[in-house]
Chains A and B, each alone.
Chain A
Amino acid sequence: MKLLLLTKRMLIRAGGKTSLAVIALAAGTGTLTASGILHNVLTHVPGAIILENMILIMGLSSLLMGSIFVFFIMFNMFIDRREIIGVLKTIGYPNKFILHLFVLQGALLGFAGSLIGVVFGSNFVISLIFGWRIYIGAFPFSREYPYTAWSGFIFIIGLLLPTLLSYYVAMKAAEIPIVTALSHVPIFYEMSWKFLSSFNKYRYYALRRILRNPILYILLFLISLITMLSTTLTTTFSIVCLTNLPYYRQLLIYIISRAGIIISFIIVFTGSAGYYAIWKSENVRRKMEISVMKTIGWTNKDIIKITLYELLFIVFAPYLISTVLSISALIFIYKITNITILLISFTVATSIAAFLLVLSLLVIFSTVKKSVIENLKILEMELLAEFR
């Protein structure tokens, strides 16, 4: 059977996106594993719960983001390989083969990510990097905190979450009728909603775009939400720790200045890179539309207005949600009423939102700026490259 060969080659072809997913997964599982050590170190320190929460939030959000990437990769694979799925079924491959093909890919990504994460977040490696002061022991079962069991649990979560998400896609792929797979009908049929007609044309067009490909926009929404929320919370917590808890300053500076900042940096990096990758792949389809619209007589301003309405959903809405959530969490759960700290969290969220906004507008500007013929030429080349 060609199952393993196909799995391997398809993953290699997906390339950059797969490595991004693995990095995000590894960062998530690594942070969560390392949080076990932190728990062990901080058990006798009062008030350390904030620091632990911070690390947990970072780890969980990174893990979630990695799983969403895996889902996106598998979903993209399904859309791109629709005809191939149809052909495999026509030749006589059972639905099970296609199910296995997709689940195996998701599971392999999950396995690689969580293995790297658990190894790098392990007691041994962390002590190797940060000093043997926090080394718990080679066989830490007997300790008060079951560190090995914790890492095993994290490994299983990191493996299961992407696998389950890709299982969902695989089921969709396996059950698709051959006729649908081979016809060039879009998988999401356009919805005609009556209330849309009351909108102005920019808003209407933006909403139609979102509804035509809802999964993609929901993914973008989730990615920007997770990036903003987690980074805002972690940075604020680290500042709270640094300013309000001076008597174990040494340990806190020690951990925040190394692991915390590196990992929140990874979250911002993977989040914005994933956002950029998805937005860019959407933009290939947009090129054709922009060329047609410009030929008909729409101006550049009109096109950018439509894009701004879309960004309202995928950048501005997550920004609002994350600011409100993080500030209310700070005030009501952790009882922090220091204006400077609240302002800092607000600034962090705003800067990330601005960064994502600039990133997505840059892509659009680069397309809009070019002439119709230039765009069509690029589109042709990109489509040819995809069609290979």
Chain B
Amino acid sequence: MSIIELIDIYKKYNSKYILKSINLTIDKGDFVVITGPSGAGKTTLLNIISGIDKPTKGEVIVAGHRLSKMSENELTFFRRHYIGFVFQFFYLVPELTVIENVELALDLIYPESERIYVIERKIGVRTIKYRTYERAVKVLELVGLGPEYYNRFPDQLSGGEQQRVAIARAIANNPQILIADEPTGNLDVRTSQKISEIFHKINKELGKTLVVVTHDLNILRYANKVYQLENGTLRKGVFER
């Protein structure tokens, strides 16, 4: 069953076609990797899949929604519930702690009225915890960050840890599709190994569909479909299992 369907996509930017006649079908539970030289339009393709950008021509169907016919507000709502996005430069909010950064994505899904308060009584101290907190803890455990990280700020974390928080934020709202734009581009080899294992875990254990733009062999290893984007056209990659 296909979850992402791109039919004859064209994207024009500054009177030049970046994407030409792209046809792509991604099934549920796939781990898709897109490679290609810089400037080939990989990020644009990801933006179109996730509803951040709109194609000049063509049809995008993601999880049964026709993105090209949706308004700005509908797209916002769509991204909130169906898409998780991981960036190369992490983009954590520097003013918020780790747990607050993850809760950022959850605040939108659990409206104020539906939140369940969990009141913990310690000796003399009463802490109120939201349902978002529980979910954030669960997700952070999944990416391998323990309680000692929860109240740290992003500038107190290493690059790998920051990217883990970013992944946790992306999967916190339980999206069907996780999209990552060069997630290990800013990390060293050993850290990117760990990050790619987390991606594998998300794909296998949670059954999410992953679309990743990368050149990292660590991630390529786990992919079951590899595409190459060159001069705006997509073709099947050489690397396939």
How far is it, in angstroms, between the C-alpha of A91 and the C-alpha of B100 when the chains are bound? 14
How far is it, in angstroms, between the C-alpha of A5 and the C-alpha of B83 when the chains are bound? 25
Given A84-B93, A92-B76, 7 extra CB contacts under 8 A: A2-B96, A87-B91, A88-B104, A91-B105, A93-B76, A94-B76, A388-B94
In residues 61-96 of chain A, which contact B (Cβ within 8 Å)?
A: 83-84, 86-95
Q: Is A191 part of the contact surface with B, judged by Cβ < 8 Å?
A: no
In the complex, per-residue mask of A1-35: 1 if CB is within 8 Å of any chain B CB, else 0? 11001100110010000000000000000000000
Question: Which 9 pairs between the two chains have the least Cβ-Cβ distance?
Answer: A92-B80, A388-B155, A9-B95, A87-B91, A178-B52, A92-B79, A90-B85, A91-B105, A83-B91
Q: Is B103 part of the contact surface with A, judged by Cβ < 8 Å?
A: yes
Q: Is B50 part of the contact surface with A, judged by Cβ < 8 Å?
A: yes
How far is it, in angstroms, between the C-alpha of A84 and the C-alpha of B89 when the chains are bound? 11
Interface size class of B (residues with CB under 8 A): 20 to 34
> Contact: B93 with A91, CB < 8 Å?
no
Q: Is B197 part of the contact surface with A, judged by Cβ < 8 Å?
A: no
Name the B residues within 8 Å of A83 (CB-CB).
Answer: 89, 91
Q: Which residue from chain A places its CB closest to the CB of B91 in the assembled complex? A: A87
How far is it, in angstroms, between the C-alpha of A92 and the C-alpha of B77 when the chains are bound? 6
Question: A80 to nearest B CB, angstroms?
Answer: 10
Question: B230 to nearest A CB, angstroms?
Answer: 21
In the complex, per-residue mask of B77-101: 1 if CB is within 8 Å of any chain A CB, else 0? 1011101010101010111100010
> Contact: A2 with B73, CB < 8 Å?
no
Most chain B CB within 10 A, of A5, A87, A88, A94, is at: A87
> Contact: B87 with A182, CB < 8 Å?
yes
Number of interface residues of A (CB under 8 A): 23
Most chain B CB within 10 A, of A90, A95, A388, is at: A90
Name the A residues within 8 Å of B89 (CB-CB).
Answer: 83
How far is it, in angstroms, between the C-alpha of A88 and the C-alpha of B79 when the chains are bound? 11
> Contact: B154 with A388, CB < 8 Å?
yes
Question: B155 to nearest A CB, angstroms?
Answer: 4
Q: Which residue from chain B places its CB closest to the CB of A182 in the assembled complex? A: B87
Name the B residues within 8 Å of A5 (CB-CB).
Answer: 96, 100
In residues 25-54 of chain B, which contact A (Cβ within 8 Å)?
A: 47, 50, 52-53
Can you list 29 A-B contacts with CB-CB less than 8 angstroms, sorted by A residue number? A2-B96, A2-B100, A5-B96, A5-B100, A6-B95, A9-B95, A9-B96, A10-B95, A83-B89, A83-B91, A84-B91, A84-B93, A87-B85, A88-B93, A90-B50, A91-B79, A91-B80, A91-B85, A91-B173, A92-B77, A92-B81, A93-B76, A93-B108, A94-B73, A94-B76, A179-B47, A179-B52, A179-B53, A388-B154
Name the A residues within 8 Å of B200 (CB-CB).
Answer: none
Q: Is B216 part of the contact surface with A, judged by Cβ < 8 Å?
A: no
